[in-house]
Amino acid sequence: MAGEAHRVTMEVRADGIAVITLSSPPVNVLHLQALTELTRKYNESMKRDDVKAVVLIGAGGKFSSGLDINLLQDIQRTGDDSFLAEISHDLINLVEDGKKPSVAAIQGYALGGGLELAMGCCARVATPGTKLGLPELTLGVIPGLGGTQRLPRLVGVSKAAEMLLTSKLVMSEEGKSLGLIDAIASPEELLEVACDLALDIVGSRRPRLSSLSRTDKLGSTQQEMDILEGIRQKAKETAHTMPQKLACLDVIEEGITSGGRSGVLKEKEVFKELMLSTAAKALVHVFCAQRATSQVRGVTDAGLKPRPIEKVGVIGAGLMGSGITTALILSNIHVILKELNSEYLQRGIKKIEANLQGLVTKGKLDENGVKKALSFLRGVSDYSEFKDVDLVIEAVIEDLSLKQSIFEEIDKVCPPHCILASGTSGIDLNQIGQRTSSQDRIVGAHFFSPAYIMPLLEIVRAEKTSTQVLLDLMTIGKAIKKVPLIVGNCTGFAVNRTFSPYFQGPYLLADLGVDIFRIDRVICSFGLSMGPFQLHDVTGYGLAIAFAREMAGTFPDRTFQSPLHELMLQHGRHGKSNGKGYYTFEKGSKPKPDYTVLPIVEESRRTTNLVEKPICISDQEIMEMIFFPVVNEGCRIIEEGVIAQASELDVASVLGMNFPSRLGGIIFWADTIGAKYIYTSLNKWSALYGPFFRPSRFLEERAMKGIPLGAPVEA
């Protein structure tokens, strides 16, 4: 983020206020250069006789999104944080205890180190709707610039602990009632109000308060310890996946029992310790890898400008079509939704309304937002309104000839600039677009269900897709708050293909005699929100059967097809849709294992006849036998160049498959285990249980040479 656009300026006004402006677009991160410059300007303001006080502000309508997270990654690589620790602590000390008082003028957001800097000031003014928070725990660390000490002193221990442990942001209005913000001012008046406040402090009309020395929001030591103990008991429940919560509470406690300065010292120590932990490395890796997906060689650096996409045609109002439409209209994009007839259309619109109402229930949208979103939607049952759309997303069932005829038709009715995208989750795009005359505008737009919630968008490059089309789709993807990832065209594309073994391995284990409910429990304790059997109950077995057939057709040598799903259907079990699956589904209660399913599982085992008697393995082996084949397929995806770099699979696995982000994504995780161990294990299982486990050439080579799986592939 360093560069000429990054500046810290100081302007001394006639009234003696030095306005120090941080300008580091797009979000005013605190990188090393910014911290050094801020310190320099602060020192200058303290020395100058014409300066009475400082107002700290961010350029471009934002205060600061905190420390540059790339800097955290640099420190993790070198293990040396001394330069950061010195500069940042010097700066906060200057802000808080310098000769002249400082006031923060906050607009947009003040997050992490940004809020910590603002809390170092003796007062804060914010514009309405400004977001404030310390989200460091989501990166596996705790705040490192005094946030664990100053926040409790400004808002009280209980609220501070809640904000820190949940990483939830508060709006400036709430911040004002909590005591985090001293005044609210409109964007136009922000600077003036902050300067007036600073002058009031200089003229002793307001006290100069040091956040770290304040005690007015703290109860007795015993009271605060009791509060912390209650919170600690709850945090213990998730301590195995989020140890930083307990560490954060310990640091707050140090400040309560031994004073703020002692707390700051402990914070510094714990921050460094956590920053170098595997979990923080993994979480920071996911953040940086996600950022890296914005720069695509040959696309974002091709000197092209994204074309505006104002109107989108969506074909098919089923689960995917209604989800995609919901995502688009929520971002104020006009959608023409087409279905075969008005009955199907009404059903689709009802789904969209239900999606929006679901967001209202969760407090993420209000009724006005629902109304506004729906005003961007128009339902149709023919193509007459497709004559001026900029993008079409086809979201009908996975049937090649149906898709081909739709593409043939939209090729004719849509304007020549219109992008023709298919939402297929695996069918070859070259075939889908075969009967069109303009194959350069054929592309895949693979959303993950529910499309208006899941953040990943796989953009699939067909043989002739133009660079402009890829850029346009990336841009619209970002506009609807997705993380777009450009991938190559192959069966299952990058994500479903990598994870295809995840939907085979558990069934192979079941056919080897491992209890299906135990498998689900192991997967949940690994960190996924539900196990594969419960997931298939929810999504239905039909889709799983079709996908397994597709994979078997392309990769017959290594696909394991269990008869279990077919047997379930034969026994009248369709999963959640008819309330009968591996689990029972009753309204208002959590799904429960249905042990009456076990004879069907046994029937499957007898049919495949893999082993004479059930195998006996540990939970650790269950997890490895399910995820190592996923790593193995990921290796093939990397080797074939379906993705540009291994870290993209990490992002995709976290955002598309809910792989735990604290593990850094599938390939990062594999490298923490080691390619050699994974290779050896797969080899062993391959000899015992067949080619499903056979290690790929890429994995073998990396294991033999000792090269991490995430290391770049040589050209």
Ligand X SMILES: C[C@H](O)CC(=O)SCCNC(=O)CCNC(=O)[C@H](O)C(C)(C)COP(=O)(O)OP(=O)(O)OC[C@H]1O[C@@H](n2cnc3c(N)ncnc32)[C@H](O)[C@@H]1OP(=O)(O)O
Residues near ligand X, by CB under 6 A: 26-27, 29, 65-70, 109, 111-113, 116, 135-136, 139, 143-145, 147, 291, 294
**Smallest distance from ligand X to CB 21, Å:** 18
Could you tell me the CA-to-CA distances from 368 to 358, 365, 480 in Å, in that order?
Answer: 14, 8, 19
Residue with smaller CB distance to ligand X, 72 or 568: 72
**Smallest distance from ligand X to CB 87, Å:** 11
**Smallest distance from ligand X to CB 297, Å:** 15
**Smallest distance from ligand X to CB 288, Å:** 8
Residue with smaller CB distance to ligand X, 69 or 184: 69
Report the distance separating Cα 288 and Cα 291, nearest Å: 5
Strands 391-394, 419-422: pairing kind? parallel
Q: What distance lies between CA 624 and its chain's CA centroid?
A: 25
Report the distance separating Cα 282 and Cα 213, nearest Å: 35
**Smallest distance from ligand X to CB 252, Å:** 14
Structure tokens given for 265: 């010292």
- Output the DSSP codes for 422-461: E--SSS-HHHHTTT-S-GGGEEEEEE-SSTTT--EEEEEE
CA atoms within 13 A on the CB side of 50: 8
CB–CB of 121/56 below 8 Å? yes
Residue with smaller CB distance to ligand X, 147 or 156: 147
Q: What are the residues whose beta carbons fall under 8 Å from the beta carbon of 636, sequence distance 6 or more?
A: 696, 698
Cβ burial of 243 (10 Å; 0-12, 13-18, 19+) is middle
CB–CB of 274/142 below 8 Å? yes
Residue with smaller CB distance to ligand X, 68 or 224: 68
Q: Give the SS3 label for residue 193.
A: helix
Is 633 known to be catalytic? no
The reply to whether omega before 26 is within 30° of 0 (cis) is: yes
Strand ranges across the sheet with 7-12: 7-12, 17-23, 53-58, 102-106, 123-126, 183-184
Is 136 known to be catalytic? yes
Residue with smaller CB distance to ligand X, 29 or 328: 29
**Smallest distance from ligand X to CB 146, Å:** 9
Residue with smaller CB distance to ligand X, 333 or 519: 333
**Smallest distance from ligand X to CB 140, Å:** 10
To which H or E segment does residue 95 belong? helix 82-97
Residue with smaller CB distance to ligand X, 139 or 460: 139
**Smallest distance from ligand X to CB 533, Å:** 35
Report the distance separating Cα 569 and Cα 548, nearest Å: 16
Residue with smaller CB distance to ligand X, 54 or 72: 72
**Smallest distance from ligand X to CB 594, Å:** 42
**Smallest distance from ligand X to CB 270, Å:** 12
Nearest to 318 by CA among 292, 338, 291: 338
Residue with smaller CB distance to ligand X, 69 or 457: 69
Hey, which residues does 334 pair with through a beta bridge? 311
Report the distance separating Cα 303 and Cα 486, nearest Å: 18
DSSP for residue 714 = P
CB–CB of 55/48 below 8 Å? no
Nearest to 646 by CA among 698, 597, 712: 712
Task: For the chain, count helices (H), then strands (E).
Answer: 30, 19
Q: Work out the angle at residue 446's Cα, subtended by the Cα atoms of residues 577 and 311, and round it to the nearest 5 degrees.
A: 105
Q: Work out the angle at residue 235's Cα, subtended by the Cα atoms of residues 231 and 238, and round it to the nearest 5 degrees.
A: 165
CB–CB of 493/460 below 8 Å? yes
Residue with smaller CB distance to ligand X, 328 or 678: 328
Could you say which of 37, 116, 224, 394 is catalytic?
116
CB–CB of 148/246 below 8 Å? no
Q: What are the residues whose beta carbons fall under 8 Å from the beta carbon of 264, sequence distance 6 or more?
A: 89, 146, 149, 212, 255
**Smallest distance from ligand X to CB 69, Å:** 4
Could you tell me the CA-to-CA distances from 304 to 429, 471, 538 in Å, in that order?
Answer: 24, 8, 43
Residue with smaller CB distance to ligand X, 59 or 707: 59
Could you say which of 136, 339, 394, 458 is catalytic?
136
Residue with smaller CB distance to ligand X, 42 or 109: 109
**Which residue minimizes CB distance to ligand X?**
112
The reply to whether omega before 450 is within 30° of 0 (cis) is: yes
**Smallest distance from ligand X to CB 114, Å:** 7
Report the distance separating Cα 137 and Cα 119, nearest Å: 18
Catalytic residue numbers, as ranges: 116, 136
